[in-house]
Chains A and B, each alone.
Chain A
Amino acid sequence: AQSVTQLDSHVSVSEGTPVLLRCNYSSSYSPSLFWYVQHPNKGLQLLLKYTSAATLVKGINGFEAEFKKSETSFHLTKPSAHMSDAAEYFCVVFTYNNNDMRFGAGTRLTVKP
């Protein structure tokens, strides 16, 4: 079965420092992986997606993620955090057999001034 595990429920960084949000996946075949962001009282917004093309995926707002098959990981990074990055982040795997998007439990990112 397809699943994702977000290794940190909460990450706190200072503004201007790097961000690392960790995600491991489980899949019986080549997965489609995504990162979504959810700001308070707002809908989910797609940050980036991996669908078996380049292993380093660039997304919006300076975020990127690297697909590492040997480590079954898809960690999200950003070189320099901004206050507006504070939100909940979800790692997601898509399962083609029933069109199911499997979300991780989420990582809350706090950015300190």
Chain B
Amino acid sequence: ETGVTQSPTHLIKTRGQQVTLRCSSQSGHNTVSWYQQALGQGPQFIFQYYREEENGRGNFPPRFSGLQFPNYSSELNVNALELDDSALYLCASSLPPRKNEQFFGPGTRLTVL
């Protein structure tokens, strides 16, 4: 069984640029959630995708957007990067009805200069 994988592991961007982060869900899991973890803080929920549609969203602006593909992999896109977007971005997959049992990937460390 393959776990959740994310790419890239590290990324450096400058303010105003756009970034795309990628996530492959655990085998058979059709639900993907994204989280932002700022340094020294707990992860914060960005949004969740289920069957290629957004299925819940946290308190993040519209410049944070996502996609889910037919193979259940997912992308997180962030436009107009700001310095405060520097964080570890975590992806988690789950399989309803156990949608609250989430398995996390290792994360992508984004640095915005």
Contact-size category for B: 20 to 34
- The answer to whether A104 and B42 have CB atoms under 8 Å apart is yes
- The answer to whether B90 and A100 have CB atoms under 8 Å apart is no
Cα–Cα, bound, A41→B37 (Å): 13
Q: A51-B100, A105-B42 are in contact. Are A43 and B55 (CB under 8 A)?
A: no
B66 located at the interface, meaning its Cβ lies under 8 Å from any Cβ of chain A in the complex:
no
Cα–Cα, bound, A94→B45 (Å): 11
A1–chain B nearest beta-carbon distance, Å: 11
Contact with B along A61-87 (1 / 0, CB 8 A): 000000000000000000000000000
- Residues of A18-44 whose CB lies within 8 A of B: 32, 34, 36, 41-44
- The answer to whether A90 and B90 have CB atoms under 8 Å apart is no
Q: A98-B56, A99-B33, A105-B42 are in contact. Are A43 and B4 (CB under 8 A)?
A: yes
- The answer to whether B33 and A42 have CB atoms under 8 Å apart is no
Chain A residues with a Cβ closer than 8 Å to the other chain, count: 23
Question: Contacts of B48 on A, CB cut-off 8 Å?
Answer: 98-99
Cα–Cα, bound, A100→B58 (Å): 7
13 contacts between A and B (CB under 8 A): A43-B90, A43-B106, A44-B92, A46-B103, A51-B100, A90-B43, A98-B56, A99-B55, A101-B33, A101-B35, A101-B92, A102-B45, A103-B44
Partner of B106, one of A42, A49, A101: A42
A105–chain B nearest beta-carbon distance, Å: 5
Question: Contacts of A51 on B, CB cut-off 8 Å?
Answer: 100
